[in-house]
Structure 1
Amino acid sequence: MLRTEENSSPSSNASVFKDDRKQAYLNPEGADRPLTSPIPASTLDAARRYRLGRLRTKMKEWDCSALLLYDPVNIRYAFDCSNMSIWTMHNPSRYALILADGPAIMFEFEGSEHVNDGLPGIDEVRTSKSFLFFTAGNLVETRMKAWADEIADILKSHGGNRRIGVDRLEPAPAHELQSRGFTLLDGQELAERARSIKSPEEIELMRWTIRVCEAGMARMYEVSEPGRTEREIWAELHFENARSGGEWLETKLLTAGPRTNPWYQECSDYVIKRGEMISFDTDMIGPYGYCADLSRSWTCGHVVMNAKQRDLYWAAREQIEHNLSIIRPGMSFGEFNDKSWRIPEKYVPYRYTLAAHGTGMADEWPGILLHPDYDAEFAGAIEEGMVLNIESLIAEDGSESIKLETQALVTSKGAERLDTFPWEEI
């Protein structure tokens, strides 16, 4: 249970700090063991078929004969293949080409073609043609032309129009395709709109990623003792994610005490003191490539919050609960903004600019800004099957920051929370 002021004397015994509600999120087989996914292969295969089908449906809606993907998150969504995802985010050297009425081709990093074995959505694997300056040097232009020729030959051989969706392409290769008569469309918008509606199988996969994330959060909770550094606590989430089949953390947002305000400072070697607030945002890409984007705040040593911490925490909880309660399918973004929780003036200068955002294999569209920042021209509607994260960051001049966030599925009845890791009892 949470410690009280009366029994909050210093101790080196980690078990003193445990909250049984949170300890329950550790692996029941023992905290020294990774979590093992119970997801059957049939669920994963159904999710794969659905995702590729969503992309092809959007392609037809856009009158788009092909989709060229370089973003590793979009490639994972389309084919469920991953290879050096972080490296290829800044070294675009593997790509996918999906034809609306033709094959789906994966162009894989040389020597890695075998990583795609057995993936049902891929009709053909080819070795990618890279024109990175890193490896091409003065041969960039020659290699780029060979790349564009191959893409053009494939598209011409399968007919269709000359409209291609492209998610990420620098000016020079884009020009090469355009000079061959192709019109380029915004493939990132196409992909994110496709990704925004989840199938039941995707939700099952996402629930498992959240389960792993919450086990990591329980580890963080257990070691949130005086004398620990921010990095030490943050490492527990990395550890659980890595050993249980996850991918990476998108940010390093864990800070304590005075370093929580202003927000967006990255975790450091700051040594945390008893009673200081520890606030974090997981931004975790976990098993199956899905995102668990959860935020919590608690005190170091799990002592009772002081009056200021309680006030801030209650305001953050009020924002989360109110904004969850108003979500309905069919609600426009403007209506959500109009009905959303109004942040008190004293907290406005320290606000988090997002009230809600979509989540899938990463943070995604729609990103609905908090009401002081909301643009009335921002169009769209909340739809059943979306997963939305509801955010709160509450702080004032000279205070610590409270960061809370929950992840919810939009159902016919409203928002259903997917995470269950307990809030603090105050």
Structure 2
Amino acid sequence: MTDAVPTELLADRLRRAAEFAAEQDTDVLFLTPGTDLRYLTGFDGASHERLTCLIVPAAGHRAPPALVVPKLEAPGFADVPLEALGIDLLTWTDGEDPYLLVSDLAGGPTRMSVDDGMPARHVLALRDAFPDVPQSLGGPVLRELRMRKDAAEVARLRAAGEAIDRVHARMGEMLRPGRTEAEVGADITAAIVAEGHAEAAFVIVGSGPNGASPHHDVSDRVIEAGDVVVIDIGGPLPDGYNSDCTRTYAVGGEPSAQVKETYAVLQEAQERAVAAVRPGATAASIDDAARTVITEAGHGEHFIHRTGHGIGLDVHEEPYIVGGNELVLEPGMAFSIEPGIYQAGGWGARIEDIVVVTADGVERLNHNPRDLVVL
């Protein structure tokens, strides 16, 4: 339960979700436990084989929202303000058909949407319960709410950024020649929790040639003097909002002139992309700002991923900062700016900050140095 979210705000989110559902031409939205349900109700729990499902009728339908919950799990919703939110609670026990209960409550929809993270076992069972009703993904409904952060959400992301900055500031305690990536990763994991996160969602320690793999994890490779090391780390604070920040380090001595020259290109690309963020710009234009710098310097083939992703209750969510995405940026949208250059078999580098679109520009949520830090 995200008890810091005011009930009035949750009620407003539910109301707007119903309105967006109507705009997306769907009659009812079905959500199982996950970040979408947490966003609308404050409930933080997992989806299991027993069906828990929030039913949100589109605006204009008379039926109120309803929550179908296994009776043995109903106590877990004691702190969710269901009555204040106007949500009817109905329970079921083993041996009963919860999908029949859902179909009764949904009131004969002709169009239905399921949340993007719903387990297939429930998606298929709902399809059987509504054999003549087309299913669509609920992502287009929820993203209209979730990708525009309110002031409270921005404050939470700001706190998450500060927490992960404190971990990067401690990297000299952990990252040094003679240690394995796994050993460094274990220390970083502990530091992430010590600095206020609920857990470490991911820890990438990409040393030497492993740094050229953007989603490398950790390994038993021993870090050597002269290595360039990519450290990409993050996780949720107890309130569920995530951090995500990457810095690149040179370990055990000054890097080569070639590394310095290439890194300077990357640093310029990241600066240009951040500077391009403003209301009215498109997501694609931010990607282009970074990609143009890297391509003109001769490293275009070594920048092998999008420039960024949205962040909030999920580490990766809308909006995606990628070529072809003509989404117009608006105040409150939060996302990463993380160009990278990867020399296969050699080394890699990435710089990542979380930024938020403001009324007249951009705010960075990470503030540690973006230079190639020598440890």
Query: TM class, shorter-chain normalised?
Result: 0.7 to 0.9
| 1:58 corresponds to | 20
Q: 1:129 to 1:232 in 2, by over 3 A?
A: farther
Q: Distance in 2 between matches of 1:97 and 1:237?
A: 41
How many equivalent pairs are there? Answer: 359
Residue by residue over 1:60-119, the C-alpha shift from the partner in whole angstroms, topping out at 9 and shown as x without a partner, is 322434221136121221222212x4xx4x868543323345544444566443332222
Partner of 1:76: 38
Q: Distance in 2 between matches of 1:72 and 1:416?
A: 28
Aligned residue for 2:57? 99
Shift of 1:404: 1.0
Q: CA deviation at 1:247?
A: 4.4
SS at match of 1:292: coil
Aligned counterpart for 2:265 among listed residues 303, 315, 320? 315
Equivalent-residue separation in structure 2 for 1:244 and 1:226 (angstroms):
24
Percent identity at matched positions?
22
Note the aligned Cα RMSD (angstroms). 3.1
Q: Work out the CA distance in 2 between the residues paired with 1:111 and 1:228.
A: 48
* Alpha-carbon distance, 1:249 to partner: 4.3
Cα displacement string for residues 176-203 of structure 1 (whole angstroms, at most 9, x for unaligned residues): 1332x43423202221232110100111
CA distance in 2, matches of 1:155, 1:185: 16
Shift in alpha-carbon separation, 1:338–1:246, aligned structure 2, 3 A: closer
Letter in 2 for 1:198: K
User: Is 1:300 the equivalent of 2:251?
Assistant: yes
Asked whether the 8 Å contact 2:201–2:236 carries over to 1, the reply is: yes
Give, in whole Å, the separation in 2 of the partners of 1:217 and 1:147: 47
Where does the alignment leave 5 or more consecutive residues of structure 1 unmatched? 1-39, 131-141
Q: Once the 2 structures are TM-superposed, how far is the Cα of residue 295 of structure 1 from its aligned partner? A: 0.9
Which residues of structure 2 form unaligned runs of 5+? none
Check if 1:166 corresponds to 2:114: yes
Q: How far did 1:350 drift? A: 2.7
1:201-350 equivalences under 5 Å are 201-242=152-193, 246-301=197-252, 303-337=253-287, 339-342=289-292, 343-344=294-295, 346-350=298-302
C-alpha distance after superposition, 1:309-349 (max 9, x if no partner):
32232122111100111122122344445555412364233
- Look up the equivalent residue of 1:413 and give its one-letter code: D
CA 1:422–1:103 in 2, change beyond 3 Å: closer, same or farther? farther
SS in structure 2 of the partner of residue 231 of structure 1: helix
Matches within 5 A, 1:139-154: 146-154=97-105
Cα distance in 1 for residues equivalent to 2:280 and 2:50: 37
Q: Secondary structure at the match of 1:354?
A: coil
The residue aligned with 1:139 is: none
Letter in 2 for 1:164: M
* CA apart distance, 1:361: 1.4
Quote the Cα distance in structure 1 between the aligned partners of 2:351 and 2:149.
24
Corresponding position: 1:368 with 2:321: yes
Say if 1:340 and 1:243 are closer, same or farther in 2 by CA, change over 3 A. Answer: closer
Q: Structure 2 length as normaliser, TM-score? A: 0.83
Does the CA contact (< 8 Å) of 1:166 and 1:184 recur in 2?
yes
Q: Which amino acid is the alignment partner of residue 53 of structure 2?
A: Y
**How does 1:1-40 map onto structure 2 within 5 Å?**
none
Taking the aligned partners of 2:174 and 2:328, their CA distance within structure 1 comes to 41
Aligned-partner Cα distance in 2 for 1:419–1:284: 14
Is the counterpart of residue 184 in structure 1 residue 135 in structure 2?
Answer: yes
